[in-house]
Structure 1
Amino acid sequence: MGSNPSKQKEKRSQSVAEVRILANGHVPPRRTVSTLSRVAEVSGREKRNPEEPVVEFPQEEYKDGKLGITSKDTILNYLDSVEDGELFCDPDFNADRFALFYSDRDASDFYWKRPVDLVEEWQTPQLMVDGVTRDDIKQGTLGDCWFLSACAAVSQKKEFMKKIVPSDQPLCGPGYKGVVHFRFWRFGDWVDVYIDDLLPTVNGKLVYGRCTEPQEFWVALIEKAYAKLHGSYEAIEGGQSMDALVDLTGGIPRLYEIQDKDPFLYRMIEKAQQKGAFITCSRKGNWKLSTKADPNGLVSGHAYTVTEVRKIKHVRGEDKLVRIRNPWGDNNEWKGSWSDSDVNWTWVDDQTKKEIGLQAKDDGEFWMSYRDFCKQFQEVTICQYGPDFDGDGVVDKFGCYACVKGRWECDKNAGGSRNDLQKFATNPQYILTLPEADDFDPQKDDPDLEGLCSIVISLMQEHRQSTRNVKVKKLQIGFFLYRTEDPTKKLSPQHFRYTPDSGKSGVYINYREVSQQFELEPGHYMLIPSTFHHNEAADYMIRVFGEKSFTLEGPLE
């Protein structure tokens, strides 16, 4: 039987909607738009990350965010005061137990050594050997696969790694002073993080992240710099890959929960990978109990890097494959269909194997079918370093960008959710003006997008560490868009009661950042960021990207 093009298009549109809903972690009941506008947010969502740290930090509000950040002038002045022959010792991140742990754990087996003391006499320690690659990374005993899998993803883009890991930093010989510096994106700005090169060891060996080459040290040192930003190594046990990807790129993250064998999600991953987006995936489970792989070779509660997707033609047909890397970088690899030495590869010609770089090595990287991928992994994170307007996983060029920072203050503008419309109306209200529709090409573009403006909106709550032993409280956040005819006046509680929203981020959730894309008619829109609970104080940042010029003003008084 022949296929019906209109039905195919309808099915694809439904798939897009389902993926976006799942990305926000919530599937609302089927209601009309008019009914939705009158339904209160009964509850927000506390998302517990499977890679939770062993010991919980106490929590408090964000303070100054300067933890781990020291100005270049301060470092240079410090180095000028160091006598000849002495090496830099970081006064802000001393090589002691407190740099390792925030909890009361025994550190008597740990000794701090510099790279020059960790190589053979005939070897020369280097920050990087022949550049940076994903194959460099080997995870140690620290549960920070969420960070290392992000490093592996970003390592495939040289321009980003050059920004994050400045070259020409000797670890011995002329010009060596024992100091190394990295750059991370923190709440809208690139910041420099300086550390000394003393690294934690046990029995003379690096115990945490390291490079596969014994004379290369960028992995161990970037991990230390990231730990400094969080207060200790223990503080980066457990986290979300999408946060690490943003810290490394300043990009826009989207988290997708895998539901069955979704062909649209595969296409989105494929196109995102082709255009250079950064992709990770994770398995649910308790990482604290997973010191070894399951019988199938995969590790529960663990984050991996998606390094390639490919459709493979062979004598029996065609298969969709995904290549994945375990940050452990060892023989803990997938043991099922399409694994390194699987019989399926006998169906594939030698030229194809060569093109995809097939190797039977115990390096943590492996292929698997997309069908098995959907069965074994539960989440995919795609981080674009520019907005993806049409939802196809491809980074689109954008003509306009706006960023504003603000603060929810108790008894002033921290109005909480729509459960109480009087209070909700006190939240900050920004005017987003879209003067004209995007350019439309009837030969390439979806007819449903004609006359609309493609916009990507991201809301991030301030979540940088302020002190070493207290975490910044992570609130349930979200945002709404309402059409308005008067861009000079704030919207009233009555407006929210009787007028449907034009878009929203989804259910309130305790992520550091929530983002969503919209296709809107030209006009004026009120953009309202809020926390779920009333009177929760926090700093926030809104980023908006558009194909055509727009304005973002406010908040209105």
Structure 2
Amino acid sequence: MVKVVDFKGQNYDKLKKECAHSTELFTDSLFPPGNESLNLNPESSIRLGNNAVEWKRITEICDTPKLYEKTSKCHGMSDGLIGNGWFISAASAMASRHELWGHAIPNHGNEANPVGIYHFHFWRFGNWLDVCVDDYLPTINNKVVSSHSLNESEFWVSLYEKAFAKICGSYGAMEDFNLLDALSDITSGFPQQISIPVLQESDEERIVSSDVIHIKEIMNNTLAEGSLMCCSILVREPSEQSAITESGLVPVHNYVVTATKEIHLDCTGHQSMFKTGEKILLVRLRHPWGSKEWNGPFSEESLEWTRIEIGERNKLGLVFEEDSEFWMPFEDFISKFDLLTICHIKSHSILPSLHKGRPMWHEAVALGAWTRPNHAGGAYSSIGKDAWLHNPQYRLDVSHPKIELILELVQKEQQLHDGTPHYTKVGFNILKVEENREHRIHKVSNPPIITSDYVQGRNVVWKGDLTKGRYVLIPTTHEPHIAAEFMIRLHSDTEIKLSELIDDYPDPFLNCPPFVTKPVAVTQITVVGATGLAECENTFCIVKVEGESLQSEIVYNSREPQWGLQGIFYRKDVCKPVIVECWESKPQHFDRFLGSAVLSGESDNEMISLKKSLVGKGDKRTELHPGEIEVLIATYDDLMAI
């Protein structure tokens, strides 16, 4: 069950009941019908001209208003004179998915509400908000100037945008948001933008390039997983802002990608059973504005459709489900469009019904803050590497050989003195660390393996793979000494653990029973591998330090295994040795001891590389065993040296 919080304490059921009891229509005192709710910038005000905006209830605008028409809620919209076109693209993408629609617009029939109150769901900083609005809309000459349906009796998109404007602060404040923000707020998914590679028309092999194949895979996977996807053409000259291209496409407008389908052309009768003929990938798009469709190959009336029998078209799902939908070949798609905007909807915790029959994804969430003076160190740089570690740090454990991961850093909105939302530039880094690290990092020995983009916006998203091991995630502001709150969200195809690293080192007064000795040194060790082992197949190593132990993964089919095992140990007695043991794994029998290396545990305060011959263990340490082990080891007096 998805938990929903009343926005600013307004409870829809309570307000609706009060209005019905008093026989008065609902008027929202928190977002009143007036200029303070518009709060438009000069550019938007110019579009309105000298005309006075009049706020009218939907029953004053139309004699028979409806929330939505059951057959047309997904298409035929306009962003109006206010001009938040990105919002209607996000709304159109949402409306195409029944499960998303039912959650975003809850408990509403298609008829207008008799007491003039509506409520909608949006996601903000880890919470679903239930936002109530009245049915006053800004108009000029009885025409709605905010986003609206081309069907003059349908008002869902106008009221939905009004609710979004309310949580932003005003219609004018929406101008600081974009399609990525809207898709995230509507679905709670992970937004991501991907540039479509620039292709030369003269390149006859462009469709088989690795970049293009990657885009094709992304699109197919995004639609298969039930996520949302839009695409757009970038404007390179001001004159292109509203110009329709020769192919019928409109720059700036975000089209919704609704399907891809691979087909074989010129297949009739028995041929279609054997998939002969030319193979082609088609992409189906929707233009939320409801007009100006593609006029190239495979447009609605093009001759290319004659190469596919009507029965085969229906069987393959090559249909136009909406008036504003059209198909186009993939090669035309990537040559015409510049940008993909994707909203990954992965977790069953968002909308369980949306993921029925799809693989389960797991979610981990952490809330945190950059605080002055000790936890706002700024971004990683070769000059200030150690200062960068003065940021919050989070341990990330991957227990499977390889996982697919989506990581999102969301910063909490801050308000400027005039109420304008403000975001600082943020990003994050991921480091591979010792397998048993449980305390904060203090010195940088290796650079981050992953560095995100730094974005002056609400969300930073990274999508990729991680292999088995322990990692530390460090979210940062770009500049140091900036305070802000943030949220980290992880989605993975396997269970994943995320926890903040709080302590600098083990403190016996906080974490241990009485009379436990405080550590006096810290040892860092990497067991690189071994050579010249006795006849064996599958080997692993174990590091033993003062009663603690750390075991490597098994390396199969090698007499010269490379384990790369990294460990960190806080020492109470540096006179005791560090022992590394080599073993052969025997699943059906007892594991076989191959030899050990005994290393000095005394403080040397520098990393040294050693190769040690293997010997026996216990009272047989004078016996030599075949093989040699290679390690990197350092012991420091300063507990915050690593």
Deviation at 1:263, TM superposition (A): 2.0
Aligned counterparts, 1:240-259, within 5 A: 240-259=178-197
Cα separation, 2, equivalents of 1:268 and 1:74: 40
Is 2:335 the partner of 1:366? Answer: no
Q: In structure 2, do the counterparts of structure 1 residues 165 and 340 end up closer, same or farther at CA, with 3 Å as the change threshold?
A: same
Structure 1 residue runs of 5 or longer lacking an equivalent are 1-67, 389-393, 438-450
Q: In structure 2, do the counterparts of structure 1 residues 360 and 257 end up closer, same or farther at CA, with 3 Å as the change threshold?
A: same
User: What is the TM-score with the length of structure 1 in the denominator?
Assistant: 0.75
Query: Which of residues 249, 269, 284 is equivalent to 1:298?
Result: 249
Cα separation, 2, equivalents of 1:516 and 1:240: 19
Query: Which of residues 395, 406, 425 is equivalent to 1:456?
Result: 406
Cα separation, 2, equivalents of 1:277 and 1:323: 15
Query: Which of residues 132, 145, 152 is equivalent to 2:92?
Result: 152
Deviation at 1:460, TM superposition (A): 1.3
Q: Which amino acid aligns with 1:429?
A: Q
Q: CA RMSD in A?
A: 3.2
For 2:351, the equivalent position in structure 1 comes to none
Cα separation, 1, equivalents of 2:397 and 2:486: 21
Cα separation, 2, equivalents of 1:488 and 1:73: 44
Deviations 1:187-217 (A, max 9, x none): 1110011111011222212233222433221
For 2:115, the equivalent position in structure 1 comes to 177
Aligned counterparts, 1:92-103, within 5 A: 92-103=30-41
Query: Which of residues 453, 458, 470 is equivalent to 1:512?
Result: 458
Cα separation, 2, equivalents of 1:399 and 1:314: 37
Aligned counterparts, 1:377-456, within 5 A: 377-386=337-346, 397-398=359-360, 400-419=362-381, 420-434=384-398, 436-437=399-400, 451-456=401-406
Cα separation, 2, equivalents of 1:238 and 1:309: 33
Deviation at 1:138, TM superposition (A): 3.9
For 1:334, the equivalent position in structure 2 comes to 294
Query: Which of residues 55, 71, 75 is equivalent to 1:135?
Result: 75
RCO higher in structure (CA 8 A, sep ≥6): 1
Aligned counterparts, 1:224-243, within 5 A: 224-237=162-175, 239-243=177-181
Query: Which of residues 76, 91, 100 is equivalent to 2:14?
Result: 76
Deviation at 1:327, TM superposition (A): 2.0
Q: Which amino acid aligns with 2:96?
A: Q
Deviation at 1:413, TM superposition (A): 0.9
For 2:630, the equivalent position in structure 1 comes to none
Q: Computing the radius of gyration over CA atoms, which structure comes out larger, 1 or 2? A: 2
User: Identity across aligned pairs (percent)?
Assistant: 28
Larger mean Cα displacement after TM superposition, 291-300 or 364-373: 291-300
Larger mean Cα displacement after TM superposition, 544-553 or 525-534: 544-553
Q: What SS does the corresponding residue of 2:214 show, helix, strand or coil?
A: helix
For 1:112, the equivalent position in structure 2 comes to 55
Cα separation, 1, equivalents of 2:125 and 2:237: 28
For 1:544, the equivalent position in structure 2 comes to 490
Query: Which of residues 425, 433, 442 is equivalent to 1:483?
Result: 433
Aligned counterparts, 1:180-191, within 5 A: 180-191=118-129
Deviation at 1:184, TM superposition (A): 0.3
Cα separation, 2, equivalents of 1:349 and 1:473: 54
Q: In structure 2, do the counterparts of structure 1 residues 466 and 224 end up closer, same or farther at CA, with 3 Å as the change threshold?
A: farther
Deviation at 1:344, TM superposition (A): 1.9
Q: In structure 2, do the counterparts of structure 1 residues 360 and 275 end up closer, same or farther at CA, with 3 Å as the change threshold?
A: closer
Query: Which of residues 151, 164, 169 is equivalent to 1:213?
Result: 151
Q: What SS does the corresponding residue of 1:159 show, helix, strand or coil?
A: helix
Deviation at 1:72, TM superposition (A): 3.0
Cα separation, 1, equivalents of 2:438 and 2:325: 56
Instruction: Tell me if structure 1 keeps the 8 A contact 2:431–2:447.
Output: no
Cα separation, 1, equivalents of 2:287 and 2:415: 28
Deviations 1:520-545 (A, max 9, x none): 34332211111221122221111123
Deviations 1:473-500 (A, max 9, x none): 242323323323442321123xx2x314
Query: Which of residues 244, 256, 277 is equivalent to 2:227?
Result: 277
Is 2:206 the partner of 1:268? Answer: no
Deviations 1:359-378 (A, max 9, x none): 599x4432222112112211
Q: In structure 2, do the counterparts of structure 1 residues 352 and 511 end up closer, same or farther at CA, with 3 Å as the change threshold?
A: farther
Cα separation, 2, equivalents of 1:100 and 1:404: 35
Instruction: Tell me if structure 1 keeps the 8 A contact 2:423–2:456.
Output: no
Cα separation, 1, equivalents of 2:319 and 2:360: 37
Q: In structure 2, do the counterparts of structure 1 residues 293 and 540 end up closer, same or farther at CA, with 3 Å as the change threshold?
A: same
Q: What SS does the corresponding residue of 2:8 show, helix, strand or coil?
A: coil
Cα separation, 2, equivalents of 1:189 and 1:130: 29
Q: What SS does the corresponding residue of 1:452 show, helix, strand or coil?
A: strand
Cα separation, 2, equivalents of 1:208 and 1:480: 43
Instruction: Tell me if structure 2 keeps the 8 A contact 1:246–1:253.
Output: yes
Deviation at 1:403, TM superposition (A): 0.6
Cα separation, 2, equivalents of 1:98 and 1:352: 56
Larger mean Cα displacement after TM superposition, 416-425 or 230-239: 230-239
Instruction: Tell me if structure 2 keeps the 8 A contact 1:456–1:515.
Output: yes
Deviation at 1:452, TM superposition (A): 2.8
For 1:25, the equivalent position in structure 2 comes to none
Instruction: Tell me if structure 2 keeps the 8 A contact 1:478–1:509.
Output: no
Cα separation, 1, equivalents of 2:243 and 2:60: 30
Cα separation, 1, equivalents of 2:126 and 2:236: 32
Query: Which of residues 247, 271, 279 is equivalent to 1:318?
Result: 279
Deviation at 1:133, TM superposition (A): 4.0
Instruction: Tell me if structure 1 keeps the 8 A contact 2:138–2:145.
Output: yes
Q: What SS does the corresponding residue of 2:7 show, helix, strand or coil?
A: coil
Instruction: Tell me if structure 1 keeps the 8 A contact 2:68–2:154.
Output: yes
Q: Which amino acid aligns with 2:397?
A: T
Deviation at 1:248, TM superposition (A): 0.9
Instruction: Tell me if structure 2 keeps the 8 A contact 1:254–1:381.
Output: yes
For 1:20, the equivalent position in structure 2 comes to none
Cα separation, 1, equivalents of 2:494 and 2:265: 45
Larger mean Cα displacement after TM superposition, 511-520 or 152-161: 511-520
Q: What SS does the corresponding residue of 1:70 show, helix, strand or coil?
A: helix
Instruction: Tell me if structure 1 keeps the 8 A contact 2:230–2:342.
Output: yes
Structure 2 residue runs of 5 or longer lacking an equivalent are 1-5, 200-206, 267-276, 349-354, 504-642
Cα separation, 1, equivalents of 2:453 and 2:41: 34
Q: What SS does the corresponding residue of 1:553 show, helix, strand or coil?
A: strand
Q: In structure 2, do the counterparts of structure 1 residues 274 and 422 end up closer, same or farther at CA, with 3 Å as the change threshold?
A: closer
Q: What SS does the corresponding residue of 2:296 show, helix, strand or coil?
A: coil
Q: Which amino acid aligns with 2:369?
A: R
Q: What SS does the corresponding residue of 2:433 show, helix, strand or coil?
A: strand
Cα separation, 2, equivalents of 1:107 and 1:162: 39
Cα separation, 1, equivalents of 2:358 and 2:429: 23
Paired positions, count: 461
Query: Which of residues 98, 102, 115 is equivalent to 1:162?
Result: 102
Instruction: Tell me if structure 2 keeps the 8 A contact 1:482–1:527.
Output: no
Cα separation, 2, equivalents of 1:485 and 1:360: 53
Cα separation, 1, equivalents of 2:162 and 2:360: 35
